[in-house]
Amino acid sequence: MPEGDTIFRTAQALHRALAAGTVARFETAYAHLARVDTDRPIVGRTIESVTAHGKHLLIRFSGDLVLRTHMRMSGRWHVYRPGERWRAPARAVRIVIGTAAAVAIALDVVDAGFIDGRRLARVAPLADLGPDLLAERFDEGDAAARLRACGAREIGEVLLDQRVLAGAGNVFKSEVLFVCGVHPRWHAGALTDDQARAIVRTARRLLRANVAAPPATAGAMRRTTGRLNPAERLWVYGRRGRPCRRCGSPIASDKQGVAARSTFWCPRCQPSSNAGRPLTPPPRPG
């Protein structure tokens, strides 16, 4: 599933291509979107902005209408010049938005809906989201308190709960906890305030670093180590059995949470027995 940094970069690309343009073409495979288009035609509206909120992408049209999409596991957006051949199968196309300058197509996006822009912050699922880790305005203390309020829930599962914090996904979950020296099965309520704040701060720092200089292919070269070698770009994610880049111990992994998502950690750098102790100093790149 694309994480917050991927959605943020996608929103940036769509905004550059579509913003300020007038919609000349709108098509959709979804009846509920087509019904809105019939009642409140999309063609002729101006695209005011494209932004990200957590893992949700928001396309704002003139007349207080917003198209919300969520990528889920396999959704994606492509942008083409008018008349350019699409590098995607027609059967995967769910939404088409065209202006005089560009055509954006949503592929395999299964979660989409129009929302009245005046009610955006009050309508589910956006109203249920926690603080956005990539938002300009962000209250670290509030975010840390939300983590600790999860009590006996495991922190590795909590970091995936978009109602607590919005934007982090499975890769960042494992990477953030490694950098902070926190075992993924610690109870969130057992964290000290300093530990919770460090987790929030690290998650925000790593996500922001990955949207500062977007790679050629969104998400393809996500980095958390700071190393330039593509083979050394992540600390623990996807590295089960391979040596920890910090201490050399074999990386462990297990399924976690109701969705049984894979979690990776270093048993030595993230011991399960030291909950409540000061954080292990973050590993240094290189």
Q: Is-catalytic flag, 2?
A: yes
Domain assignment present for 88: yes
Q: Which of 3, 48, 157, 175 is catalytic?
A: 3
Q: Which of 27, 41, 55, 243 is catalytic?
A: 55
**Confidence category of residue 255, pLDDT binned at 50, 70, 90:** very high
> What is the count of structural domains for the chain?
2
Which structure tokens are listed for 215? 């790679």
Q: Are 153 and 187 in contact (CB under 8 A)?
A: yes
CA distance 245 to 223: 14
Task: Let me know whether 119 and 155 are in one domain.
Answer: no
Query: What pLDDT is attached to residue 19?
Result: 97
pLDDT digits (tens, 9 = 90+) for 11-52: 999 999 999 999 999 999 999 999 999 999 999 999 999 999
Q: Is-catalytic flag, 255?
A: no
pLDDT digits (tens, 9 = 90+) for 161-181: 999 999 999 999 999 999 999
Residue 272: pLDDT above 90? no
Question: Taking the model in full, what pTM does it have?
Answer: 0.87
Domain assignment present for 254: yes
Domain assignment present for 51: yes
User: DSSP label at 36?
Assistant: H
Helix (H) or strand (E) holding 201, with range, is helix 193-212
Q: Which residues 6+ apart lie within 8 Å of 124 measured at CB?
A: none
Task: Let me know whether 49 and 155 are in one domain.
Answer: no
Q: Which residues 6+ apart lie within 8 Å of 16 measured at CB?
A: none
Domain end point (choices 86, 105, 128):
128
Task: Let me know whether 79 and 148 are in one domain.
Answer: no
Domain assignment present for 275: no
104: β partners: 79, 97
Task: Let me know whether 201 and 155 are in one domain.
Answer: yes
Number of CB atoms found within 10 A of residue 56's CB: 21
Q: Residue 103 sits in which domain range? A: 4-128
Task: Let me know whether 29 and 102 are in one domain.
Answer: yes
Using alpha carbons, select from 271, 90, 74 the residue that is nearest to residue 181: 271
Domain assignment present for 15: yes
